[in-house]
Structure 1
Amino acid sequence: MQNFASNSFPLLLLILLSSLACSKPESDVKPDNLGTIEKNLKIELNATLHPLSTTDPNLPVNDLAFLGNLGNAKIVGMGEATHGTQEFFQMKHRIFKYLVEKQGFRYLAFEYDLGGCMALNELIQSGQGDIKAWMSQQMYFWTWRTTEVLELFLWMQDYNRNKPDSEKVHLVGVDCQFPKQAVPQLVNLLKPYDNSFATEVSSKLNSIVKHELYKGETFATLQQARNGVLPQINAVGRALNERAASISQLTSPAYYQQIMRVYETIVQAEILQYNQVFNAETFFTFRERYMAENLDWVFSQYGNVKVALWAHNEHVAKNEQFLNFNTNSLGGNLKAKYGSAYQVIGFSMGSGNFKAYNALNNQLETMRLAAPITNSLNYPFTQADEPHYGVILADLQKRTFWNGRLSSSRPFLSIGAVFNANLVDHYYYTIRLDQLYDVIFHFDNTNPSRLF
């Protein structure tokens, strides 16, 4: 996820993420049969769905008991259909709370830079420190700088108080778009080992402590700029490898692996920044792969744990065509490695308000979405008698009419950080819903997330 409306973000990526059009299949029923099919879809959905009693994460999670089978998963992906919807964030908080309290999950992998989350996790683990102040000063994505996400992190911090380490919950980052927070985190990790070496590393990498390494570069000047960055990063890598034994001995092998993972995200960020300038598909291929690799590291570092993954629908979906590119999504990479041990919860909405950058004026605003297009997968979800609910797709697929609906490719709403109200149809991506998600949470009406 990224603030795609930033003036420094390449126009190519803005266009791709905010305006990618997709073809809408023709209706597979004749108009005179349409009413009958819609009626049966509604009947079947009402018989299968699980009503949600609340979105308030402070209330009990008994209504989520239908998610019991997720306890067999190693990773549970939790998506969102927009980056600025209050109900999505609150429900993901409730789902994580359920997974922790009822299913033994202890790790939350977040669509945010690994180094930044490592610093934030220190506050969550210690029970000390002002999380809101950290988010206000350090969290550069507006999408996460919300009351809903703050309440999640505060709950994690409070949950950990007076608990042994084996029962505490942990926050880990999987993203790697920028080196700005990774560099100071690397330096901080090195200080207990050798303060003078930490200072040396800081000096070598000081010039890349920024959001974008190649801002303003053209194709002609990009390679020259890269030649000024790579030697510094590579020199630090060699120095860390040379000191592997001594760092491990003075700290621990696990601590050294933390150091190397933070360093690896600096390497990843440089590659993403380089490809971001001129090759969108390569950028996304690397980013989705790197996020999967960073999540894999959680298991190598912490053992046989259970992880909940927080990201956009597009990232967590078990997709081999991420944003219409011929590349696996983060979820597609996880599916390839973990198979059925990776389960995914997607989110759907009918109409309502949400936060996004208005593509027409480049302003962060509360945007409005009308009723979904009638041939979309979202539309029949709005016809249920319940305004918000969860449904297990495998159960829904056992129903006659929904089996046909889920087994065909149809448009499904997906909005990121940018929205163009004049191109609403372009935010419906044609997918096979049953191949990408295991559970859907639907909300007929939504409210915008609350930024601070």
Structure 2
Amino acid sequence: MTIPRHPFILLALLVGLGGIGFPGSHAGELPQALRALAQPLRQADDLTPLLDAVGDARWVLLGEASHGTREFYTWRDALSRRLIEEQGFSFIAVEGDWSALIPLDRYVRHHPDAPASAREALLQIQRWPLWMWANTEMAALGEWLREFNRARAPDERVGIHGIDVYGLWDSLDAVLAFYQTQLPEPAAAEVRQLYQPLQAFQGDNIAYARHVHGTGRSARAEVARVAEKLTARYQAADPEQRRVLFEPYQHAKVVEYGERHLRGMAQAGPASWNARAQHFKRTVARLLEHYGPDNRGIVWAHNTHIGDARATDMARTGQVNIGQLARERHGADTVFAVGFGTATGTVLAARRWEGRREIMATPEPRPDSLEAALLAAGDGDRFLILDRESPAVELLREPIPHRAIGVIFIPERERLSNYVPTRLTERYDAFVFLPRTRALDPLHEE
């Protein structure tokens, strides 16, 4: 089989396959239904009905239709601030690397060895696509979180964490460093030996996936053993020790699921994608447990992750995501998912993996799409609360093409490659529509 060069490319292929078919059978009636559900969104105070709809949910999942749209970040920021201030949410978990977000988390929680600013913390991010988290919008959130935390006790400070698996090599190095500096040499030597079969590939994801495909041998048992050791150490620790152990414990989990993700690239089917989805969900569950039994968390990730996969054609191929897994494991009443969408404007993306970022025009949406129907429904930014008991949502139970743009985007192919058939009321609990949006403002220069 041909192994995709990178999972983001795999996602682009999957979205492309999903973009064909499922035309709306009541397209003429859709704008009227969408208009009936719409509430204007002009300022943060307008979000009050959305906060009320969140209710007692412990998992609030905030999406995005691209990884390069400024307004998706600023409105998620506004909603997150109100959830933290008014409803006591304890952390934000983002679709980024655990290791890459540690400097920002240390900064916002006033850690003694933290960087001097949120900007400095974010400029330490080195893995492409840099703009996803190293941007002025995230820096503004980081400064607000630090100020919010200033008068709070250390164990009550709001954190920000990465929940992805792509930084597994950095996490592997962090686990080794922890054992080398904090534990006796026999324990460190054992972990070095366990990690050696994976470490031998020196950060080359594709080489490891090809090795597994060609030989049938993997480092699965070895990396799982290290994770088991740190899990047992963490669970046996007292509360003060747990504060120290949680970081390396999570690093070990990144390595375990990162290896599973790479191993899945060597086989047909959804294994690689699903390993990542399972890690998202389990990381947030661990964070909720670590912060305390009554705490609540906010997740920032692409719509493809936070909207229930069962309401899209992902289900046909056996793919899952955090939106589905959290609802299944913890109950639909504990999860509130908010999708985001746009119609026109500009977006920051690249035309190939590790390619140069570009500010691209966002094309007019397909005429049979959700975005086109929302444009026809009226002007202005707005949000929809998808009350499943309301007669107005009936038409939204049918599949309709819904735009999804990744870090790789080729506008000329947008109509064929960037729409996911979606049953809106089953995928999300609410939806924010911003008709015209702008590209992110990245921190790194090129």
Normalized against structure 1, the TM-score is what?
0.82
Q: Closer, same or farther in 2 for the Cα pair 1:99/1:225, shift >3 Å?
A: same
Task: Render the CA deviation track for 1:184-212: whole Å, top value 9, x for unaligned.
Answer: 43355557743757864785558739884
Whether 1:104 and 2:98 are equivalent positions in the alignment is no
Contact 1:188 1:198 in 2 (8 A): no
Task: Render the CA deviation track for 1:372-427: whole Å, top value 9, x for unaligned.
Answer: 222211112113444211121118x735xx43421211111111111122221221
SS at match of 1:390: strand
CA distance in 2, matches of 1:364, 1:79: 22
CA distance in 2, matches of 1:65, 1:306: 18
Whether 1:330 and 2:317 are equivalent positions in the alignment is no
CA distance in 1, matches of 2:363, 2:26: 24
Q: How much does 1:324 deviate?
A: 5.3
Q: Structure 2 matches for 1:6-405, cutoff 5 A?
A: 8-9=5-6, 13=10, 16-17=13-14, 19-29=16-26, 34=28, 37=29, 41-42=31-32, 45-54=34-43, 61-67=44-50, 68-126=52-110, 128-130=114-116, 131-140=118-127, 141-142=129-130, 143-187=132-176, 189-190=178-179, 193-194=182-183, 196=185, 200=189, 205=195, 208=199, 212-216=203-207, 219=210, 222=213, 229=219, 233=223, 236=226, 240=230, 248=237, 252-253=241-242, 255-256=244-245, 258-279=247-268, 281-302=270-291, 303-320=293-310, 321-322=313-314, 325-338=317-330, 339-359=332-352, 362-394=355-387, 398-399=390-391, 402-405=392-395
Percent identical: 19
CA distance in 1, matches of 2:102, 2:25: 50
Q: Closer, same or farther in 2 for the Cα pair 1:438/1:233, shift >3 Å?
A: closer
CA distance in 2, matches of 1:251, 1:144: 30
CA distance in 2, matches of 1:118, 1:392: 34
Letter in 1 for 2:53: N
Q: Bigger shift: 150-159 or 186-195? A: 186-195
Q: Bigger shift: 212-221 or 98-107? A: 212-221
SS at match of 1:84: coil
Q: How much does 1:226 deviate?
A: 5.2
CA distance in 1, matches of 2:208, 2:413: 31
CA distance in 1, matches of 2:97, 2:228: 23
Task: Render the CA deviation track for 1:88-125: whole Å, top value 9, x for unaligned.
Answer: 01111111001011111121111122343345322221
Match of 1:440 among 413, 431, 441: 431
Letter in 2 for 1:298: L
User: Which segments of 5 or more consecutive residues in structure 1 lack a partner in the other structure?
Assistant: 1-6, 55-60
CA distance in 2, matches of 1:176, 1:405: 37
Letter in 2 for 1:64: L
What residue in structure 2 maps to residue 57 of structure 1? none
CA distance in 2, matches of 1:250, 1:78: 30
CA distance in 1, matches of 2:241, 2:221: 28
Letter in 2 for 1:171: I
CA distance in 2, matches of 1:344, 1:276: 28
User: Which segments of 5 or more consecutive residues in structure 2 lack a partner in the other structure?
Assistant: none
SS at match of 2:350: strand
Q: How much does 1:328 deviate?
A: 1.7
SS at match of 1:380: helix
Q: Bigger shift: 122-131 or 328-337? A: 122-131
Contact 1:187 1:198 in 2 (8 A): no
CA distance in 1, matches of 2:179, 2:253: 15
CA distance in 2, matches of 1:305, 1:323: 31
Letter in 1 for 2:404: S
Q: Closer, same or farther in 2 for the Cα pair 1:398/1:241, shift >3 Å?
A: closer
Q: Closer, same or farther in 2 for the Cα pair 1:394/1:281, shift >3 Å?
A: same
Q: How much does 1:295 deviate?
A: 1.2
Q: What is the alpha-carbon root mean square deviation over aligned residues?
A: 3.4
Contact 2:8 2:406 in 1 (8 A): no
Contact 1:322 1:329 in 2 (8 A): no
Q: How much does 1:129 deviate?
A: 1.8
Q: How much does 1:85 deviate?
A: 0.3
What residue in structure 2 maps to residue 58 of structure 1? none
Q: Closer, same or farther in 2 for the Cα pair 1:249/1:389, shift >3 Å?
A: closer
Q: Closer, same or farther in 2 for the Cα pair 1:83/1:199, shift >3 Å?
A: same
Q: Closer, same or farther in 2 for the Cα pair 1:139/1:99, shift >3 Å?
A: farther
SS at match of 1:291: helix
Q: Closer, same or farther in 2 for the Cα pair 1:424/1:183, shift >3 Å?
A: same
Contact 1:179 1:208 in 2 (8 A): no
Q: Closer, same or farther in 2 for the Cα pair 1:369/1:11, shift >3 Å?
A: closer
Contact 1:183 1:202 in 2 (8 A): no
